[in-house]
Structure 1
Amino acid sequence: MPELARTLPASWYCSQPLYQLERKAVFLKSWYLLGPVTRFLVVNERVSYEIAQKDIHVYRISKTSEFPGPGDLRVVNADNDTELPSYVTPTGLLFAALSQSAPSFHEFFPNLEPLLSTVDFTRRPYRRSIKYEGNFNWKTMVDGYQECLHCQYTHPSFSIYYPPTFYTVYNHENFSQHIADPKKPNDGLFLYFFPNCTLNVYGGGMSSFRVCPTETPGVTRMEFDYYHISDGDKFEDYFRFVRQVAIEDFELCEKAQANLERGVYGEGILNPEKESGVAYYQERVFDLVSEQYEEDKKIEILDHDRKTTESSVGLVVETSA
């Protein structure tokens, strides 16, 4: 019998030093969904983002067509206006990285574009954004998104449309696809982008959220963007529905984080079928953080050896003199 996947220890949800390792190992080397090009229609109008304490701006620099293309958008470091890596998909989604140390878009998300090609993202105009902080670690929210064992009990309205009985998660390199019913694979598009972005497209609406860690491990800022083919009552009905689901998740995450910090929960076993999405992303976090830790340790040893050598050389020089 194969060994079952275990969760990350509770300490990983509460530790400041571990978050600093995550920031270097995960966040500064990843790509992020910033939104459909319909979010950036006005030339020179800056849209601000902050991910893992890195401030970035996005703005349209030219208008060659109704919607911005690859050469029409610029993503920059907010501190010095230097350009950051960015990519616009053929169907109109903008992704960006926080530093030049990140791999290319296609290296980070191989085989993603065929899946995105099923949706024309320019057909859903931007409607609204909201953001607020919650008392939970960023991974606490991703844990909840990456499984749906809790959906039937905490999301009764969502479960009416998407029963969790057949819910399946397919994990790919740095992204996961959620399918409510394998017999209806085209009934909506639900994606998780490692490490902290989501995209949910169904009916006439589309939403995305970013789970943004703050400097405090137990506090996370949630950022939501909403799009819809219709405005007025149709959009407001959709907005109320998706906000209800988001509020239910928010309350669940705050309770889970409180248990993690009180020591009620340490670590456990993940269901190999129903929690494969959690196992996948947590393993990615663990591997990247472990690699960063070993890399930092080597640098620390080399730095110590260099200082020791310099000190010895200085002592020899002084003695000789």
Structure 2
Amino acid sequence: MTTRTPLSAGPDGLLPDLTPDTLRVDPLERADTIPSSWYTDARLGPFEQRAVFRPSWQVVGHVSLVANAGDYVCATVAGEPIIVVRNADGEIRAFYNVCRHRGGPLAMDDHGACRMLQCRYHGWTYTLDGALRGVPRFDRTELFDRADFALVPVAVDVWEGLVWVCVGEPALPLAVTLDGIAERIAPQDLTGVRFHSRVEYAVACDWKVYVDNFLEGYHLPLVHPELCKTLDVSAYVTETFEWHSLQHSPIRETPDGGVYGEGDAFYYFVFPNVMLNILPGRLQTNVVLPDGPGRCRVLFDFFYADGTAPDQIAGDLAFSDAVQQEDIEICEAVQRGLASRGYDRGRFSVECEAGVHHFQALLKRAVADGIWNTGDPPAAPPGLRPA
């Protein structure tokens, strides 16, 4: 077993196993997986929020949820509470879901509608553009200017009917991050689906375990035997792009049409934690959120084309839940294995795990950039030092 020395980097002073060796990106055929400590050391979590999640685009919902002025959607992005709202001019705006008085929430539901944004703590009110409008019982407060206390805005963009936000400085425009997806799935049109429901899963594994699991079909025969009857696993292909990857499979033809119908299944992953499961007449968005050491939450939003039969939706939801329960069981077992003294780093199947390697390479790049941006980096691995 290799002996490792934890690295003290930057003001955190607590980053484990971040060395030139572990940050180096080798070709798939020669690469090791990331160290087990990246999944198990609780001290890495706050650094990941800052270095990995803040500069990334995160999907928060569909435009159908903010169709009218005053409609809003709430989300947690990079650990931050966010509210997205459509204003009176029809524009979609995003703000921190935080009142500028003493940090109270403007909304506490996943989504809803309002005429103005009002703090649920002390009643300060804001216009749908974020300007402070009403300040109860503040007449005697001196040197107070409402203009200084507008809501803090967040970058927001829309792609194919999906609303995305970024709480930091976006590494790239959203259109660049998602380049090529809409053309690849044509003639399917994601703008034509409507939100149906959300299912949330609490999973006792690090968020990266769940992402790794999503990114390969290697485990399908053992973990998902029923899914293997639906997908043509022999034609399962993984493709990688700059900031996203695709797992693609034809859907098996069955006499009754099966739970997925006829066509193709597109499983897209957008770095670092967003999944787009695009199937005939439907869309699932899965967002994997860190939830403390060794835990994550997975938010499944289900969207369907108009006219989808209720029994078809019910069957789809039940099948999806069965698959997720299988994934949860294996991911939680993997988390226990990663914490064992019997494991440190593994290798990749060139045939089956290109998506996992691609994700871990992007993760290494984000972590290396984060070290350089926080003060006291190690020697930069080749190809990873920021320009």
TM-score (norm 2): 0.69
Q: Supply the distance in 2 between the matched residues of 1:231 and 1:83 (Cα, whole angstroms).
A: 40
Q: 1:94-109 maps to which residues of 2 (within 5 A)? A: 94-100=163-169, 102-109=171-178
- The answer (yes or no) to whether the contact 2:371–2:377 under 8 Å persists in 1 is no
- Which residue of 1 is the match for residue 346 of structure 2? 268
Contact 2:61 2:73 in 1 (8 A): no
Whole-angstrom CA distance in 1 between matches of 2:222 and 2:338: 21
1:176-195 to 2 correspondences below 5 Å = 176-181=245-250, 187-195=264-272
State the match for 1:224 in structure 2: 300
Gaps in structure 1 of 5+ consecutive residues: 64-70, 301-321
Shift of 1:77: 1.4
Partner of 2:228: 159
Aligned partner of 1:127 in structure 2 is 196
SS in structure 2 at match of 1:262: coil
- The DSSP-based 3-state class of the residue aligned with 2:347 is coil
SS at match of 2:172: coil
Q: Return the offset for 1:24.
A: 1.6
How many residues matched? 290
Contact 2:60 2:74 in 1 (8 A): no
1:84 paired residue among 154, 177, 181: 154
Q: Give the aligned residue type for 1:82.
A: V
Q: Deviations over 1:224-249 (max 9, x none)?
A: 10112325222111111111111111
1:26 partner SS: helix
Match of 1:34 among 49, 56, 60: 60
In 2: Cα distance, 1:260 partner to 1:299 partner: 26
AA matched with 2:152: T
Identify if the C-alpha distance between structure 1 residues 235 and 101 changes in structure 2 by more than 3 Å, giving closer, same or farther. Answer: closer
In 2: Cα distance, 1:137 partner to 1:98 partner: 22
Deviation at 1:31, TM superposition (A): 0.7
Q: Which residue of 2 aligns with 1:258?
A: 336
**More helix by proportion, 1 or 2?**
1
Counterpart selection for 1:59 from 80, 85, 92: 85
The one-letter code sitting in structure 1 at the alignment partner of 2:64 is T
How large is the Cα RMSD of the aligned pairs? 2.6
Contact 2:206–2:293 at 8 Å: present in 1 too? yes
Partners of 1:74 and 1:13 in 2: how far apart?
Answer: 35
Aligned pairs for 1:140-151 (under 5 A) are 140-151=209-220
Percent of aligned pairs with the same residue? 25
- Specify every segment of 5 or more residues in structure 2 that has no aligned partner in the other structure, as ranges: 1-26, 100-150, 254-262, 379-387
Cα deviations across residues 150-186 of structure 1 (Å, max 9, x unaligned)? 111211121111132221111111111111149x9x6
Q: Measure, in 1, the Cα distance between the counterparts of 2:288 and 2:377.
A: 31
Q: Which amino acid aligns with 2:294?
A: G
Which residue, 9, 13, 18 being the options, matches 2:44? 18
After superposition, the C-alpha distances for 1:10-67 in whole angstroms (9 at most, x for unaligned) are 000012232222222110010112233223334323221113311111222248xxxx
